[in-house]
Structures are given as C-alpha cells and as structure tokens.
Amino acid sequence: MLVTLTDLGHRFDGQPYLFEHVTAELEPGHVYALTGPSGSGKSTLLGILAGWITPATGTLASTGVNRVGWIFQNPHGVARRSARDHVALPFLARGARRTDANREADVLLERFGLAHAADRPFRALSGGEGQRLMLARGIASAPDLLLVDEPTAQLDPRTAHTVNDALAKIATAGTIIVVATHDARARDACTDVIDLGAPAEPRTTDRVDA
C-alpha cells in the first residue's frame, strides 16, 4: 500500500497557489503531520488525498488504497449511544458477533485512554474524550487511508494534550494516517511531517525525531 505525491500543487481559479512542489511517499504504519499556517492548504490537500479535489499541478498516485476514513474537527456521535457502541459498530458492520465487537472495542478504548468512559453516552463525554473516541472509531473502521482534520483546533490546551497523547498511539499497521494540524504538540506526536509553510521548493517527508 502506498500513496505517492509528486510535485503536487494547488490553487483555485484566479487565486495564487496555496502550495506547490509537494513530494512525498506515504506508507502504512506512519502518522504524517500536515502542517502550515492558516490558508496554506492543509484541508485542501486532505481533500486531494481523499479524491474529492483534482490537484492543479503534479500527480497523486495510490496503490492498494480502497477505503478512506475522515475524522473532522468537531466530534459527531449519537447522543444516547455509549462510547463502546460507537467503536463496536464498525466491527459489527464487518460481520463480527456482538461479544467479539465489544471486546475489540474495549481494546481500542483502553488504547485511547477511554476505558473509564466505555459505558457513558456520547452526550456525557468531554470534548477531549469525544475526539479521542473519534480516533478510536476511525481505527476500528480499518480504512486504508485515515485523514484527520485539526483534531485539537476546538479544544483548550489541557484537553488538547489528551488528544495529542492519543495521536502518539494511533499508528497502525495497514493504515496510512495523515493529520492536518497547526498544533506543534500534535505535530510532534506524529512520526513524519509534511510542511506546507516551507519555502516554495520541492518538499519531502521529514521524520520527526523521537
């Protein structure tokens, strides 16, 4: 599985380029932080990766990517459904028995620091808990490519810290993960960085130092 960006650039009609010369190879098991100031095209590049937008220049090639997941800035869930139900649903949709789906859901809830909230309804979760639940559900859905748009943008610093801790645990074999963020701590929680705010020259993927 591989997503290859070659000299990618985009602008909307009559407007200057949001970004140019983006070159990277995205592989499973990595979490790529897509960084840059507001207006640099982070969400637009996510849209290109999802296949919703055709880039103005350059090419995007995907091999083995059939299912794309997207986690938005604001967590959305069913108010009265429990956290466990939200994560179990993707397993049930793939044919798992309820007991097996719940067991798999509990493993993911533990991974993202939500074991204590497994039985709480979605409406009773805090903002940070809700966003971490969306990350857990995103992994449960087993997409080939998971796109995460500004997961800490609507959170206070303390709550954002819990989400950044979860991002550090999100790397998953078999899934390519791209996180658009302006948060330096979210960037540092990822394994690699694509910086759209860098000078306009060929950009490659940089590994974040541990």
Helix (H, G, I), strand (E, B) or coil at 4: strand
Report the DSSP pairing between strands 145-149 and 176-180.
Answer: parallel
* 205 — pLDDT class (breaks 50, 70, 90): low
Name the strands in the sheet holding 145-149, side by side, starting at the edge strand that comes first in the sequence: 68-71, 145-149, 176-180, 31-35, 192-195, 206-207
Global pTM reads 0.90
pLDDT at position 202, please?
45
For residue 22, which of 57, 62, 52, 47 has the smallest C-alpha distance? 57
pLDDT at position 210, please?
43
- Which residue ranges make up each domain of the chain? 2-67+143-207, 73-131
Range 2-67+143-207: architecture per CATH = 3-Layer(aba) Sandwich (3.40)
